[in-house]
Structure formats: C-alpha cells, structure tokens
Amino acid sequence: MTTQPTFIIVGGGLAGAIAAQTLREEGFPGRITVLGDEPHRPYERPPLSKDYLQGNADRESIFAHPEPWYAEHAVELRLGTAVTSLDPAARTVTATPQSARRRPRRRALPAQRR
C-alpha cells in the first residue's frame, strides 16, 4: 500500500499561501493542507492596511489567491484552526478546533512570521 505524500503548512498567512503555490508549481503531487487560525483565506497585509482600509481597493484585491484557486489546485484550507503543537518525532500536528486535532503528516512546513 502506497501512502500519498502530505504537506501540512502551519500558518495561513501570505507565507503559507505562497508555500502551497510553490509546492504545486514545483510539481508536488500529494495532499497539501494549510492550517491558519484566522477566519479568512491568506491575504497580503500591506495592501490591506494601505489600500483596502483607506477605500482605495476592493476586498478581493488583498487576498493572495482568488477563492477558487485553492480547490483548483487541490489545496485544503483549514481556516480558524490554531496549531497547538508540532511533534517532528511522531510526525503529528495538533490543532484546534476538535475536528482538526492531531493529524498525522508526512511533512510539515511552519509558515508563520515571528
């Protein structure tokens, strides 16, 4: 039995969106899941603060990708999902809410800005 390779990207910001995009552009054939604690898909913060909030851009212009992009590229977004621990030895990611807790993974990519 062959297991499909999986990447779980920890962080639903711009870095997470670009990581998922790059994996697909580089030909990664497996499952990609982006876990992010915000309720919105990944967006670019400078355009949010400089353009959208000043009324100079529409809401869609702040997002890293249009909403359909994720389904079209087989990238699963788990929004509102905060990662509480990452265990490299056990190869697991623990997250909230309950439906997303303790997911086995092949690879994890922390994509959060500190």
**Could you read off the pLDDT tens digit of each residue along the chain, which spans 114 residues?**
567 889 999 988 899 999 999 999 999 999 999 999 888 899 887 656 677 677 777 787 788 899 999 999 999 999 989 898 888 888 888 888 644 444 555 555 555 544
| Predicted TM-score of the model (pTM) | 0.76
CATH code of domain 6-110: 3.50.50.60
Nearest to 28 by CA among 60, 70, 74, 72: 74
* Structural domain boundaries in the chain: 6-110
